[in-house]
Amino acid sequence: MTKKYFLTITILISIYLNGFAQARKYSNDFLDVGVGARALGMSNSYVTSANDVTSGYWNPAGLLGIGNQHQVALMHSEYFAGIAKYDYGAYATRLDSSSVLGVTIIRFGVDDIPNTTELIDANGNLDYNRITTFSATDFAFIASYAKTLKIPGLRLGANAKIIRRRLGDFASSWGFGLDAGAQYDYKKWKFGAMVRDVTSTFNAWTDNLSEETKAVFISTGNEIPENSVEITLPKLLLGGARKFDFSPKMSLLAEVNLDATFDGKRSVMIKSKAIGIDPHFGLEASYMNLVFLRAGLGNYQAYTDAVGQKIKTFQPNIGIGVRIKSVTIDYALTDIGDQSVSLYSNVFSIKVDINKK
């Protein structure tokens, strides 16, 4: 009887065991979702074009592109039919003509998850009043710094980030990592590079299970996780972009990115046992630098389904943006599923310039 009703907490067990896997080769995947509707509308092809406060996430070197003393950005999005909520906020301030400081906060969470570990009382009776709820949340706190060098067109930036992950009162972790980024302008071309988790990011997990909950896990044949460490390996993002001016009022920005991972576990377009490369590109058409139309393709996946059939999918994104004086409002429609099972998400973000020069 206990095993039968314990199946209702499958989501709890799966998330829990996932978080405690020993020495994982990749983790903190919530930091790969992306921020800012402009970048999402271009299928995350933004490592080179990043030139505002969102650069603290995409490429800290791009923070030098802010044209004002201060800049603020906010975004809220929901995924998987509203089950998972993603919130983002960032602030950047110009220290002087050659350096900028930025701060980014990200929260990704699933709330109101039923906890049925105490559904059955000590006498073996079902008591639905014993069902409680909890949240599985991921937080990232990122401090960014960008600096121009004496080499014309070259900009460098770096991130220091703190990761906080919680699974209700059951488990929690702390992590720390570093990112490094660069941008370079050459004639009409722009190039960018970003190394996430350049020294690898380590998340140290702590088991907070009560003795009663551990007893339930044992009685239902589930493994009790132990304190462990997740490891996020470095990820290299490369990009090239060019802006085409068709008239004084109309222009088109095109960017191509290559995301390289080194865990050998990605179903990407170009892969081997040692490296995987995921290409994606985006376009942004601009009218008077006030109205923007965006589109992109990315997230190519190649895998074999349960019946042995080879499947290939990709993710198309579109978006629009409007700038009204010092306020820019962006929207993106992103498909985080594939062509057969589409899970569209509406993403809005706002950016505000303060103390315009």
Q: Over the stretch 239-249, which tens digit does the pLDDT of each residue have?
A: 999 999 999 99
> What domains can be seen in the chain, in order of their start residue?
2-356 (2.40.160.60)
Cα separation, 56 vs 65, in Å, equals 11
The predicted pLDDT at position 170 comes to 79
Tokens of 348: 């809005």
The predicted pLDDT at position 126 comes to 79
Type and span of the H or E element at 58: helix 55-58
Mean pLDDT of the chain: 84
Amino acid at residue number 23: A
The predicted pLDDT at position 357 comes to 52
Cα angle 205-206-209, degrees, rounded to a multiple of 5 = 130
Tokens of 136: 């599985």
The CA-atom distances, in angstroms, between 238 and each of 137, 182, 199, 337 are 30, 10, 18, 24
Lowest mean pLDDT among 208-222, 265-279, 295-309: 208-222
The predicted pLDDT at position 20 comes to 42
State the burial class of residue 7 (Cβ atoms within 10 Å of its Cβ: 0-12, 13-18, 19+). Answer: exposed
The predicted-structure confidence for 70-122, as pLDDT tens digits, reads as follows 999 999 988 877 788 999 999 999 999 899 999 999 999 998 888 777 777 66
